[in-house]
Amino acid sequence: MRTELFVNGERYHVYNRGTAKCPIFLDDEDKYKFLWNLHKFQCSKLGKPIIAVSSYCLMTNHFHLSLLQMADGGVSAYVNHVCMSYSLYFNKKYKRTGCLFAGRFKTKHINNDAYFLHLTRYIHRNPIDIVRGHSLESYPWSSYPTYLGLTESPIVTDKLAINILEDKHQYKKFMNAWDPTEDLIISDYTIDDSD
């Protein structure tokens, strides 16, 4: 049983990785399936939103989400549905058994707008080593292209980061103004690669 208390109207950084840091996405079809789940489970069975997705990024062996809880139990229900459905798909496709993810998902409360903005930048910069020689906006498995207005996504339903910075051009400037010391500032709130 989870000990965190998720509060309606509050935002959370949610992340998890594959068991023993193993890949959880082996091809594009896997990533599309996970993205489909991110969209599909945002509402209850009655069609009422339980969460809103602020930002996301899929990496080879982990994922990051920034979520706004909109209904009681929304974060837990959403992430559990997304991950359970994906695990069943993955295990069936690759004829495997057992846990895909390294235990329960991890979460950190986003307690102010400054942290929220820095976290979206952290999430969107996650694939920096993967896109070598290309721009981050060309990485199709994050919400960054949506933030820049390059793609439409039914997944991103919380536009607070763009609203804070007024528009997509300001957000791009914010992304480009990144400084390595900022990762140290939010290090208590991000995924620990040493786990």
Instruction: Report DSSP letters for 63-79, one per residue.
Output: EEEEEEE-STTHHHHHH
Q: Which residues of 138-149 are buried (b: 16+ CB within 10 A; e: fewer)?
A: ebebbbbbbbbe
The answer to whether residue 2 sits within a structural domain is no
Which among 67, 64, 62, 69 is positioned nearest to 17, based on CA atoms?
A: 62
pLDDT of residue 21: 92
Count of domains observed in the chain: 1
CATH number at residue 169: 3.30.70.1290
The answer to whether residue 108 sits within a structural domain is yes
3-class DSSP state for residue 93? helix
The answer to whether residue 4 sits within a structural domain is no
Model pLDDT for residues 144-185, shown as the tens digit of each residue:
999 998 998 899 998 888 788 877 888 888 888 877 766 666
The answer to whether residue 1 sits within a structural domain is no
The answer to whether residue 97 scores a pLDDT higher than 70 is yes
CA dist., res. 149 & res. 96, Å (int): 39
Which among 109, 119, 129, 113 is positioned nearest to 163, based on CA atoms?
A: 113
The answer to whether residue 41 sits within a structural domain is yes
Structural domain that includes position 68? 11-189
Burial group, residue 128, by CB count within 10 angstroms (0-12, 13-18, 19+): exposed
CA dihedral 84, 161, 119, 65 (to 10 degrees): 0
The answer to whether residue 136 scores a pLDDT higher than 80 is yes
Model pLDDT for residues 105-118, shown as the tens digit of each residue:
999 999 888 889 88
Model pLDDT for residues 26-79, shown as the tens digit of each residue:
999 999 999 999 999 999 989 999 999 999 999 999 999 999 999 999 999 999
